[in-house]
Amino acid sequence: MEHDTAEHYEFYPFTNVGHFALYPLVDAKIRTQLANYYREGIERIVSRGQENPYRIGVPFLWCSNNLVVGFITQVILYERMTGDLRYHSSMVAHRDWLLGRNPWGTSMFTGIPEGGKFPEDVHLPTVQILKKLVPGGLVDGPIAAKTYNTLRGLHLNQPDEFAEFQTTEVVYHDDVGDYSTNEPTMDGTADAILMFALWN
């Protein structure tokens, strides 16, 4: 996740839970090595996060919210393995990003929080055809403007409600015409369920 660009799904899985599962089964030397794998990735994200006021350190490539969820999960697993809480505040900043502490002031989960601001005009047949919002779907999330501007077939169906908050660097739209930032994903939603279960 330290790279600015990647091919779609090039670095799957976003979080390797194998390190966590193996940790209690090995000797101290291997434990240190496993924890270091997590720590090195975490430190790269924390360092990148110093470059913006929201402290978000994942690259804004397609499905950036999946990367945010992966980062949070990795920190949670690292904390459980080691008891080291030095990255906790960065993890909280990333969680809060998903829940609305972002330039657009919106949650990145459909239907959450109830009565709050969340994605509504998502690129999903159940919403567009059946007019039923499926709660809890994690949308792709913000994308680098340079990537967004090269994608084919994108057109907003409504005026951009977030126009005043868009930057030359990163964009997000709650509009069915933007399949790159506003499509709920099965993989991201599944990862988010694990993240919240671990958080709890």
| Confidence band of 12 (pLDDT split at 50, 70, 90) | low
* Cβ(69)–Cβ(139) below 8 Å: no
**Domain boundary assignment for the chain:** 18-199
CA dihedral 145, 147, 148, 153 (to 10 degrees): 160
Q: Which two three-digit tokens encode residue 122?
A: 């998502």
pLDDT grade for 77, boundaries at 50, 70 and 90: very high
- 27: Cβ contacts below 8 Å, ≥ 6 apart: none
List beta partners, residue 170: 144
Q: Give the torsion through C-alpha atoms of 124, 146, 69, 120, to 10 deg.
A: -30
SS3 193: helix
Q: What residue type is assigned to position 91 of the chain? A: M
> Would the pTM of this model clear 0.75, i.e. be above it?
yes
3-class DSSP state for residue 170? strand
Give the C-alpha separation, 39 to 181, whole Å: 29
pLDDT by residue (tens digit) across 142-173?
Answer: 999 999 999 888 889 999 999 999 999 999 99
d(CA 159, CA 93): 30
pLDDT tens readout for residues 133-142 = 889 999 999 9
Report the pLDDT averaged over residues 73-85.
97
What distance in Å separates the CA atoms of residue 5 and residue 166, rounded to the nearest whole number? Answer: 20
Report CA-CA distances (Å) from 7 to 30, 73, 78, 175, 190: 31, 22, 27, 24, 21
Reported as a single tens digit per residue, the pLDDT across 25-39 is 999 999 999 999 999
Rounded Cα–Cα distance for residues 62 and 7 (Å): 9
Which pLDDT score, from 0 to 100, does residue 131 have?
Answer: 86
Which of these CATH numbers, 3.40.800.20, 3.90.1300.10, 1.10.8.60, 1.50.10.10, describes 18-199? 1.50.10.10
Helices (H), the chain: 18-22, 28-49, 64-82, 88-98, 125-128, 145-148, 186-199
Pairwise CA distance, residues 131 & 174, whole Å? 15
